[in-house]
Structure formats: C-alpha cells, structure tokens
C-alpha cells in the first residue's frame, strides 16, 4: 500500500513536472494612483514639464499637472466628432490614442486617432471611419488644443464597431506608425461583410489588419495625400499592396510601442480570437499570420475554439509567416487551464525604468479583463529568452484590484503607467491611471 502511494505520488509529481500546464511565475510590484474620475483612459502622454495628457475614450483629453491635479477643463474635446458610442455598455469606438510629434517641443504638433461617423463614399452598411488627425497644442498653461486646428491625415472605413486598432507612435526613424484592426464583426475570424475571402489580414489592398507607416513631414501633391510614403515601405510603389503598409496579418493590434532602449524594436500586442493572445516584434514587410494563424498555431476559421489540424508556413505570396515572441492561452478555449491567463491582450512597453529592477528588460503588458464580462484584468511581464524560444510570461502581482486593463503609458524616465476601467463598459468615474511602482511603495 505504501509503495503504491509512493509510486502514485511519484507519478503525480512527474506528471506536473513534465506537463506544460503550469501556473506562471510571478513578480511583485505596486500600483500608485495618479488620476481618477475618468471613464476609460486610453492614452497617457508624458510632457516635458512633468505633467501628462490623458485621453479618455469618451472623446476628451485631460491635463494632469506636475503636482498630480487633473484639470476639470478638457485640453481637447472631440465628443461631437465621434461616431456613436455605447455609453454605459461595452464599446471599442471613441478616442483611441494620442501621440506627440518627435519635434513637438518646437512644432507643437500632436496626433490623435478616433472613430468618426461613416464618411461620405464609404459603403452604406459600414459602421464608422477610423480617423487619424493632427492638432496643434500651443505652448502655455494650462494646455489647450483648439479643435479648429484639426487636420485629417488618414481615414480607414470600418465595417463593424470593433477591432479598430487605432494605436499610434513615432518610430526612431521619425515616421508615424499606426495599427489598424481587421474590421471586426459578429463572429470574428476575419469573416463576413467587409472582409476579403482570404481575410483582410492577408489582403494587401486594404488597410484593415495592418501596421501602417507614413511620413507626416509634409503633403504628397502627386498622391493628393497630406502625408508621404517612406521610400523603403515594402509596397511603396503600390503595385503589390497599398503603399502605407509596413507589416500585415494582424487581428486587433491593441498597442504599438517602440522599445526606448536596446535596438528600439517595435512591439505590438495582437488580440486573439479564442485560443491565443500574442505579442509580436514587428519587422518591415512581416506577415504575422492572421487569419491563417493564431499565436504559434494554425487557425480554424469555422471552429475557432478547436485546435487547428494544420499550421501554414507561408503566406499567399510564398512569404514565411512570422511567429509571435510571447503568447498566453485565452480562457475562451482553455477553460480551467492554469496557463489560460485572460481573454484579450492589452499591450504595454518594454520596461527600461529604474524603479523596479525585477522588471528590467521585460515587456510589461496585461489582459483586459481576465474573463469575459468581469473587470478583473491582469498584469504581465514577458521575459526575453536567452535563445530564440518564446519569452516567458510572468504575472505581476500588485496585491489590489484594479479593474479592466485598458492601456499603458510611459513617462520621461521610462516608468510605466497602467490605465484602467473599473467596469467593462463606459461608466463615468470608473477610469483610473496608476503608476507601476516597487512592491514596498504600493498605495
């Protein structure tokens, strides 16, 4: 009997040791509240004066002054320029991102992305238009943007309300990068009205499901656009694909950030369908697989919850499909699996700050809600591997609830901010911004 028990224990121990299903390691940190009273903060822009601009999904930008006081008067309001949004209930539309030009201190140019009403000429059954605009933020205190300074730069027609992407950042090359989702829809899978048969991810004649790169240093009179095409964009001549495309095969790229250190790589977190949430390092011309792949797997467009039976290696032009650097399982398909960490990835930044040495060099990000309909987001750190194997995903434990993880921000010192919403909808007053701090300094 004893021998049986010992053998059984050995089998159980061995079983848990060799199985891939294991709860992830964790790192401790803290969250320090820096702003509250928002609805759903989407973007945090650190200013040189030590203050910050916070863009709220409902269409307003607020100023957090260097003393930590949030202005009552908005810096900018575009509420009357937004498409309809579902106040109170879940929505992915609204004001999505804000990014200053690299020469902002001199030229005061600042860029924003929001969902606008369907533009003239768009298919009449489409939902809205994703709009990238430029504004001017004159020097002065308190900061104020005249909405009349708006100049529309680029628009993408959206068949459905969801999968907008709409995240922007300037690269070390000075060009503006923008993520655009696959267009969304009731069943996902890059299928349905407004989706190419092969999926928008694999169709190079649509800006949906892409990472775009444009040069906003001036207009291109020949093209009639207020921006130029960088001459080394992969489809710059427009023959095989749209000239704005920098990379493709993404589903709902909900973050876009450049590593402020190292070789300044471009990180994008791509929200998955039902099985995998992923983080990609984006290469010029790269095909990240959607909807041929999800995570490291193939993808079954008819039964997205099921393990796919094949894994394509190549795209339609014979190009190699690129793998993510980090993944975690989505609870939608992997119920009761300790490795299933959430439902929708929210991308962040590679941590190059000094305050939390344990996180040095990791990619800090999170999961929106942990599970459908519950505002119990998660925070993660993906730690680079020594070789080319996937980065290890660790939980960041902060010892307090914080709601849905909507977005992340980075300040001038490389310290990070977590933008949260205490509800899964757009409920006034539930949005907060926290600074990620060492565990000992929490609260």
Phi/psi of residue 203, nearest 5 degrees: -100, 120
Q: How many CB atoms lie within 10 A of CB 217?
A: 12
Which residue, 61 or 292, is less far from Ca ion as judged by CB? 292
Between CA 137 and CA 103 the distance in angstroms is 12
- Cβ at position 324, least distance to Ca ion in Å: 6
Which residue, 143 or 201, is less far from Ca ion as judged by CB? 201
Between CA 419 and CA 36 the distance in angstroms is 10
- Cβ at position 42, least distance to Ca ion in Å: 23
- Cβ at position 288, least distance to Ca ion in Å: 4
Which residue, 248 or 288, is less far from Ca ion as judged by CB? 288
Which residue, 234 or 289, is less far from Ca ion as judged by CB? 289
Counting residues that bind Ca ion (by CB under 5 A) gives 2
Can you name the residues that pair with 420 across neighbouring β-strands? Answer: 405, 432
Q: Which two tokens stand for residue 324?
A: 């993510």
- Cβ at position 119, least distance to Ca ion in Å: 30
Which residue, 162 or 273, is less far from Ca ion as judged by CB? 273
- Cβ at position 20, least distance to Ca ion in Å: 20
- Cβ at position 270, least distance to Ca ion in Å: 6
- Cβ at position 293, least distance to Ca ion in Å: 5
Which residue, 94 or 249, is less far from Ca ion as judged by CB? 249
Between CA 381 and CA 364 the distance in angstroms is 4
Which residue, 110 or 326, is less far from Ca ion as judged by CB? 326
- Cβ at position 221, least distance to Ca ion in Å: 37
Residue 287-326 contact track with Ca ion, rule CB under 5 A, x = bound: -xx-------------------------------------
Which residue, 114 or 288, is less far from Ca ion as judged by CB? 288
- Cβ at position 192, least distance to Ca ion in Å: 20
Which residues inside 270-289 make contact with Ca ion, applying CB under 5 A? 288-289
- Cβ at position 55, least distance to Ca ion in Å: 27
Which residue, 288 or 328, is less far from Ca ion as judged by CB? 288
Which residue, 129 or 273, is less far from Ca ion as judged by CB? 273
Between CA 207 and CA 133 the distance in angstroms is 16
Between CA 354 and CA 415 the distance in angstroms is 7
Which residues contact Ca ion (rule: CB under 5 A)? 288-289
């Amino acid at each position: 009997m004893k021998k049986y028990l010992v053998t059984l224990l050995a089998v159980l121990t061995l079983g848990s040791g060799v199985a891939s299903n294991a709860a992830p390691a964790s790192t401790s940190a803290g969250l320090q509240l820096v702003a509250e009273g928002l609805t759903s903060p989407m973007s945090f822009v650190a200013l040189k004066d030590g203050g910050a601009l916070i863009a709220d999904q409902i269409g307003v930008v607020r100023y957090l002054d260097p003393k930590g006081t949030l202005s009552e008067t908005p810096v900018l309001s575009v509420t009357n320029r937004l498409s309809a949004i579902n106040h109170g209930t879940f929505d992915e539309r609204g004001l999505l991102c804000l990014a200053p030009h690299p020469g902002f201190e001199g030229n005061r140019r600042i860029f924003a992305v929001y969902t606008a009403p369907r533009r003239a000429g768009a298919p009449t059954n489409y939902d809205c238009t994703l709009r990238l605009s430029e504004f001017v933020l004159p020097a002065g205190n308190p900061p104020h943007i005249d909405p009349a300074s708006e100049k529309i730069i680029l628009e993408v027609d959206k068949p459905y309300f969801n999968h907008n992407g709409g995240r922007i950042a300037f690269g070390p090359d000075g060009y503006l990068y923008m993520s655009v989702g696959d267009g969304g829809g009731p069943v996902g899978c890059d299928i349905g009205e407004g989706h190419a048969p092969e999926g928008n991810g694999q169709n190079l004649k649509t800006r949906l499901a892409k990472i775009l790169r444009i040069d906003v240093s001036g207009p291109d009179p020949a093209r009639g656009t207020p921006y130029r095409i960088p001459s080394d964009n992969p489809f710059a001549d427009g023959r095989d694909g749209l000239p704005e495309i920098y990379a493709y095969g993404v589903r709902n790229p909900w973050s876009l950030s450049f590593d402020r250190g190292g070789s300044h790589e471009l990180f994008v977190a791509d929200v998955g369908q039902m099985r995998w949430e992923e983080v990609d390092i984006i290469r010029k011309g790269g095909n990240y697989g959607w909807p041929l792949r999800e995570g490291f797997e193939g993808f079954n467009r008819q039964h997205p919850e099921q393990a796919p039976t094949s894994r394509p290696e190549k795209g339609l032009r014979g190009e190699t499909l690129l793998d993510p650097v980090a993944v975690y399982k989505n609870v939608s398909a992997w119920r009761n699996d300790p490795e299933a960490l959430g439902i929708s990835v929210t991308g962040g930044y590679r941590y190059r700050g000094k305050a939390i040495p344990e996180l040095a060099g990791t990619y800090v990000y999170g999961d929106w809600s942990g599970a459908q309909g519950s505002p119990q987001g998660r925070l993660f750190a993906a730690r680079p591997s020594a070789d080319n194997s996937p980065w290890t995903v660790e939980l960041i434990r902060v010892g307090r609830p914080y709601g849905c993880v909507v977005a992340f921000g980075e300040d001038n010192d490389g310290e990070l901010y977590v933008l949260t919403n205490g509800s899964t909808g757009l409920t006034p007053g539930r949005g907060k911004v926290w600074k990620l701090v060492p565990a000992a300094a929490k609260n």
